[in-house]
Structure 1
Amino acid sequence: MWIAVGSLAAWLWLLLGQGFFWRTDVRLPACGEPSEWPSVCVVVPARDEAAVLPWSLPSLLAQDYPGRAEVFLVDDGSSDGTGELARELARRHGGLPLTVGSPGEPPAGWTGKLWAVRHGIGLARARGPEYLLLTDADIAHAPDSLRLLVAAARTGGFDLVSQMARLRVESPWERLVVPAFVYFFAQLYPFRRIALRGSRTAAAAGGCVLLRADTADRARIPDAIRHAVIDDVALARAVKRGGGRIWLGLAERVDSVRPYPRLRDLWRMVSRSAYAQLRHNPLLLAGTVAGLAVVYLVPPAALAAGLAAGNPWAAVAGGTAWLVMTATYVPMLRHYRQPTVLAPLLPVTAFLYLLMTVDSAVQHYRGRGAAWKGRTYARPGAALDENWEN
């Protein structure tokens, strides 16, 4: 009974005291157009992305942007012809100028993506842009996406504006896992707190980050975060530590086209970085497992056990906690246009995330670390730990 009461207390605090994380109305600020449109260079790191590039790259090349803009796609050692496909798509669709570069294999101490971003930013600097748009190769943008991002950053005085792209939700496993992924992210990093002056909460969504070029220089991006597996959060923290203003919200016109049809695909997406999120700390892992159990698993278990044992207080506390949990998940399901009847299944999804987190730690201690597209980052260096501690 007391564990159920503790779970209910946790949910009441999450409902009211965690930045209203469950609300999904933090969207790109509506604002007027700037008097002058600054120049923008779009940097797209890409490794073996031929399967998704035909849906994402043409959307970047077709941006309706009044100022000068150019796209730099960095082919990070692809084996599927990503670079040549990008050139062919540019010839076929036209639009913004495209440059395809290749940085070679990353040196020790660099993740592949950030090494590619470094190369792309280096190419872009020759054009002297005022802003950099860092976007992933699986992200499709509506034609006015860049215009709206720049207008929000320019008129709002933000050094970094990021949008959480709407992930694909089509397969049964995607429906069960994907909306919860964004829900859990918002719970860890409440979007409303990120933009507040004086708030220490900092995060970004790596699929869509508009960054002032001079801010990137001051924060030494990406060199200062070169070890980071969770590079978007590390990037936002580096900018905020340097005094920059940042904004993060949910996207309406930016979508991920990468499919995760099987549980194995989603498992790999989460487990590759889950233990890095916990700073590779066994005590934090134990606390996270216990916390997930108390917050997400206890409510339905207490309801069932209370009813079975004739303990009404345990049943009421567990049932109320489950009801609050379900209610906070409904807005995210609606954002993803999913049936709200999935909301009571959040404990099932949380249990899957618990197993993924434990598996992430197991893979780390087996020396496999954060494996992604043929590269493994087994032992992150001190720089990553420093980023998390700060």
Structure 2
Amino acid sequence: MAGIYVHIPFCKQACHYCDFHFSTNTSQLEKMIKMIAKEAEIRKEYLGKEKIKTIYFGGGTPSLPDPKWIDFLLNEFSKLFTLDLQEITLEANPDDLSIEKLRAWKKFGIDRLSLGVQSFEDRILQFYNRAHNSHESIEAIEKARDAGFYKFSMDLIYGFPWKDHSLWKKDLELVFSQDPGHISCYALTIEPKTALGVWEQKGKFSPADEDFVAEQFEILQEEALKHGYDQYEISNFSTPGKEALHNTNYWKSVPYLGLGPGAHSFDGTQRGSNIRNNSKFIHSLESGQISFEKEETEESDILNEYILTSLRTKWGIDLEYLKDRFQKDLKIEKMKQLDQFGQAGWLLWGENTLSLTKSGKLLADSIASALFF
């Protein structure tokens, strides 16, 4: 079992918080798509004989190109890989959801949309420099359902500095009223090279304090539970059977091939990434080369990454897997830390698993780092 991630590195405009690789210059868009297909051909042996179960079109904004290019890539993948698809996701912005595009994506095999809503408050959307408005967000799922889609996710950002939690509560009320089946919620993070990062350095923007952000996370947990959404990963919530298969496989260390500039890959043992430069990525492939660099990893890196990613999920750490794969007995070797976290009420023990309680999820990264080897 394996997956393919496709990074489409173009956007209409730059969101003020975004640190992903993208360009607002779309002059190379069609050439980029062709080079992504060429990269797939060159790297078709990366996953061995694994069947491809999931494909994820991310970015950037993969809803920006003419749908024919998504169809082009899917046709190329069908020639190069053994496809046994369970899910094909496409990230889309609400302002891109024309009925023509929706019907085309559906016809070409896209069966899940991940909608970049971020907020239903126009003042916040404008501050983030998003291209859509709240009305388009509210209409998004209705239009997609009319086109035949039934699997969705909606992205939201919490932690915007405000006098109280009223705007966040409104966002949650509206997203659950749409009942998408899946939501992904991320705390507003200030990255140095983004517009928000520059504004913070110049004293023009002050992010919310940690307690405010933590309170919004707890509100999210409460509202999700109330509406029947399971927190199956720290930032991801779904109704039964609506988990994101592709992303779940990331957290379960399933191999995947990343295509496009800035895309990461994992072959089951070693990770690597493509260069974050559109022109250099295109030029290298025109020369018959790939711009993929393997990461230098040790066994301890693989072990600690497993602890970090699995502890973020409801399935938690498989203690027997740690013993068999890494010869590590967490209960014995990290007894002091586990006792401390257990007394604080942050741990859930299964028969052979360790996961986090509701309060423990607030501290997932710091708990994981304390258990690193």
Whichever structure has more strand as a proportion of its residues is: 2
Where relative contact order (Cα < 8 A, 6+ residues apart) is larger, the structure is 1
Whichever structure has more helix as a proportion of its residues is: 1
- TM-score, normalised to structure 1's length? 0.23
